[in-house]
Amino acid sequence: MTKERAYFESLALKEEGKLCPQHVPEVYHFDRTMSLIGMRYLEPPHIILRKGLIAGVEYPLLAEHMSDFMAKTLFFTSLLFRSTTEHKRDVAEFCGNVELCRLTEQVVFSDPYKVSEYNRWNSPYLDQDAEAVREDNLLKLEVAELKSKFCEKAQALIHGDLHTGSVMVTRESTQVIDPEFAFYGPIGFDIGAFLGNLILAYYSQDGHADQANDRKGYKEWILKTIEDTWNLFHHKFTALWDEHKNGPGEAYLPAIYNNPEVQLLVQKKYITDVFHDSLGFGVAKMIRRIIGVTHVEDLESIADAGKRATCERRALNLAKTLLKERRKFESISEIVSAIQQF
């Protein structure tokens, strides 16, 4: 990866930090020549969220905090709040982060759907599952649409890699780190990354259950966190829209859209599109974590390969179904039901 990644990481940290200082570590200094970022030390007991999810730790404020981070960073960098002039200026700047965009294209939208030296999976258990993905034309059709959106749709400044390894937590604090993949892309890519990784954490729990802890209660907590995160995001994003509907965003001018009926119509359309994008990107990121180059510790740390394969296959089958049928789903509670059915 290029040295430039540190520049875009610091740029995104500063921008996100301005918009949501509670959940982004402060940057004190950046030196472009040295690619050096001086930033807040996230002191113990902060740990990577993924580690906490593997250990079975509940974070009662996680949905509240992550919905806050996503609603604020995504709303305030979209055309719902920005002028076209600001938007095009910032889109152009982040076009420079192309190397990391290309990496995402490859590992999320390409490699899992073809034979690639980088792919790996829980063999021999998932050999047929991996092959089935490579031969599923409808899956490839859907993934092509998502890739086009990723490459072409400059909707907001997205973190670009918002999985559970990019979040540090305590029971009281949630801090989003590592935005070196940031660029102007589709809002659903961030939401999907976070929800998709929570779903992987959910399916991995049976692999971590033992006689002392059957993880049943914890699985319920993960499902509730998935549901709460989306619902709170929806609520907060819409509230920001209502609050700022008289400007300065140029997408929906008040002289056209400030009657209650049309305001409801455009918000419902916008949020529904973000919901379906989130589902699509979220499950695409699940698929790549099971049959692509980089896996997640949630599943990898299950020692028994057969037990791990059962968890992985459930996740993979949910993901394949949602990728093809996501537009039929209207609410996050339907998604939670589907997760439980696989």
> Least distance (Å) from its own copies to the CB of residue 266?
5
Other C-beta atoms closer than 10 Å to the C-beta of 95 total: 12
Residue 33 or 137: the one with the smaller Cβ distance to its own copies is 137
Q: How far apart are CA 226 and CA 17, in angstroms?
A: 24
User: Could you give the CA distance from residue 85 to residue 96 in angstroms, rounded to a whole number?
Assistant: 18
Backbone angles phi, psi at 99, to 5 degrees: -60, -40
Output 133 or 311, the one with its CB closest to its own copies: 133
Supply the minimum distance, in Å, between the C-beta of residue 293 and its own copies.
Answer: 15
| Minimum distance of its own copies from residue 115's CB (angstroms) | 7
CA distance linking residue 257 with residue 76, whole number of Å: 19
Please report how close the Cβ of residue 87 comes to its own copies at its closest, in angstroms: 7
Q: Give yes or no for a contact between 162 and 175, defined as CB atoms under 8 angstroms apart.
A: no
The number of beta carbons lying within 10 Å of the beta carbon of residue 336 is 18
The span from the CA of 303 to the CA of 324, in Å, is: 32
Give phi and psi for 38, each to the nearest 5. Answer: -100, 120
Between 155 and 225, CB nearer to its own copies: 155
- Per CB under 8 A, residues contacting its own copies are 79, 84-85, 87-89, 91-93, 95-96, 98, 101-102, 105, 110, 113-116, 137-138, 140-141, 144-145, 147-148, 151-155, 250-253, 255-257, 259, 261-262, 265-266, 269
Residue 134's SS3 state is: helix
Q: Which is nearer to its own copies, 91 or 293 (by Cβ)? A: 91
Q: Please, what is the minimum distance in Å from the beta carbon of residue 333 to its own copies? A: 26
Q: How far is the CB of 291 from its own copies (least distance, A)?
A: 14
Residue 183 has φ and ψ, to the nearest 5°, of: -165, 180
Closer to its own copies by Cβ: residue 87 or 289: 87
Task: Report the 3 state secondary structure along 276-298.
Answer: HHHHHHHHHHHHHHHHCCCCCHH
| Minimum CB distance to its own copies, residue 117 (Å) | 12
Closest CB to its own copies among residues 266, 271: 266
Closer to its own copies at the Cβ: 40 or 153? 153
